[in-house]
Amino acid sequence: MLMDALVKAKAAPGLELQRVEKPVPGPRDVLIKVLKTAICGTDLHIYNWDAWSQAHIAPPLVIGHEFVGQIEGMGSEVEHFRPGQVVSGEGHIVCGQCRNCRAGRGQWCMAHQSVGVSRPGAFAQYLVIPASNCIPIADGIDLEVVAFFDALGNATHTALSFDAVGEDILITGAGPIGMMACAIARHIGARHVVATDLSDYRLGLAKKLGATRTVNVTREKLEDVVRELGMTEGFDVGLEMSGAVSALESMIAAMRNGGEIALLGLFAQKPQLDMSQIILKGLGLRGIYGRRMYETWYKMAAMVQSGLDLQPLITHRFPYTRFEEAFTIMKTGNSGKIILEWSDKQ
């Protein structure tokens, strides 16, 4: 049996819509009929075939890892799922044997695989993942939002790393995950939620999602905004989503003594940090990778069910056959989340 899939066919820029073998689930796997997917920044890296992709992707590979689908079939050892059930899935497939896995900290597994990066992905009509990675979705949750639960999980894991309730939050980098972090910080009861970026388009979306003040750092200085807001000691919690050295530097300078910083953005260049400032201010810095397995999945679903509204984040929708248009828009940077529809033969 063949199916449609978006394939990184060769070691060069671009993607191809191809007919490939429909995957067959092993004894502990589920077969998922994909309904909707969302495009991640990682997919754009792979599309562009940048240095990171060249080091991590072995073509040919079906890419994609943000999806919602329905159970179509399952292996003989799988329990607790039924055909037709709506599901999403954790994209990191962990070894289950290392110390972190055995302690319930799978996000730090030393031997994990990634859906759509190191094993076949979700930009396809069907996907196979281990049943243990499959997440049942409760009725009534917007499937378009579920399509990017994997990314929302990154935002949730980062935004909930430190106690942000009643605190002042700085979010550097208003890409889709930064925008989601704005929405989460607001939802859980932060006071000032300040987002920085270089793009007015993205800051506009961040504002729609819940940023209380946006700062285009090409025109405004963060320290002026801190003063304008009447903050006397600095931000309590920083969420670094940009991977830009200058953003991290400005964050460290804008934190109050004893503040906490969660780092999600990957840095293309190595920052030269003022370590004395970090030490003397007593700052905490924590790297964030993936989603807590599986605590983050419960928390994000609960937040969506309790009113976290992420619809404004979705700016474009395309049938999967029009993936080229979707990636072209992604490249401009003027987009929130872009949904690819897989539910009907296009």
Active-site positions read 42, 45
Q: State the Cα angle at 68 between 63 and 74, rounded to 5°.
A: 90
Residue 248's nearest CA partner among 280, 212, 287, 303 is 287
With CB under 5 A as the contact rule, the residue among 44, 98, 143, 229 that binds Zn ion is: 98
Q: Which residue, 24 or 111, has its beta carbon nearer to Zn ion?
A: 111
Contact range with Zn ion by CB under 5 A, out of 116-124, 143-151, 162-170, 218-226: 143-151
Length of the chain, in residues: 346
Q: Which residue, 61 or 94, has its beta carbon nearer to Zn ion?
A: 94
Position 340 contacts Zn ion (CB under 5 A):
no
d(CA 201, CA 209): 13
* Least distance between Zn ion and beta carbon 117 (Å): 9
Which backbone phi and psi does 69 adopt, to 5 degrees?
Answer: -155, -170
Q: Which residue, 101 or 169, has its beta carbon nearer to Zn ion?
A: 101
Cis peptide before 294 (omega within 30 of 0): yes
Which backbone phi and psi does 24 adopt, to 5 degrees?
Answer: -115, 125
3-state helix, strand, coil in the chain (%, to 5): 30, 30, 40
Q: Which residue, 6 or 40, has its beta carbon nearer to Zn ion?
A: 40
Number of residues that bind Zn ion (CB under 5 A): 8
In the range 37-96, which residues lie near Zn ion by CB under 5 A? 40, 42, 94-95
* Least distance between Zn ion and beta carbon 343 (Å): 21
Contact 320, 346 (CB under 8 A): yes
Contact 31, 87 (CB under 8 A): no
Distances (CA, A) of 257 to 106, 173, 230, 280: 32, 22, 17, 8
* Least distance between Zn ion and beta carbon 132 (Å): 12
Position 225 contacts Zn ion (CB under 5 A):
no
Q: Which residue, 137 or 194, has its beta carbon nearer to Zn ion?
A: 137
Contact range with Zn ion by CB under 5 A, out of 53-61, 147-155, 219-227, 251-259: 147-155
* Least distance between Zn ion and beta carbon 295 (Å): 17
Q: Which residue, 109 or 171, has its beta carbon nearer to Zn ion?
A: 109
Position 101 contacts Zn ion (CB under 5 A):
yes
Contact range with Zn ion by CB under 5 A, out of 34-42, 156-164, 219-227, 290-298: 34-42
Residue listed under structure tokens 């940048």 = 50
* Least distance between Zn ion and beta carbon 49 (Å): 17
* Least distance between Zn ion and beta carbon 94 (Å): 5
- How do 213-216 and 193-197 pair as beta strands? parallel
Rounded (10°) CA dihedral 181, 182, 185, 189: -160
Which backbone phi and psi does 27 adopt, to 5 degrees?
Answer: -55, -35
State the binding string over 107-136 for Zn ion (x if CB under 5 A, else -). --x---------------------------
- How do 337-341 and 29-38 pair as beta strands? antiparallel
Q: Which residues bind Zn ion (CB under 5 A)?
A: 40, 42, 94-95, 98, 101, 109, 151
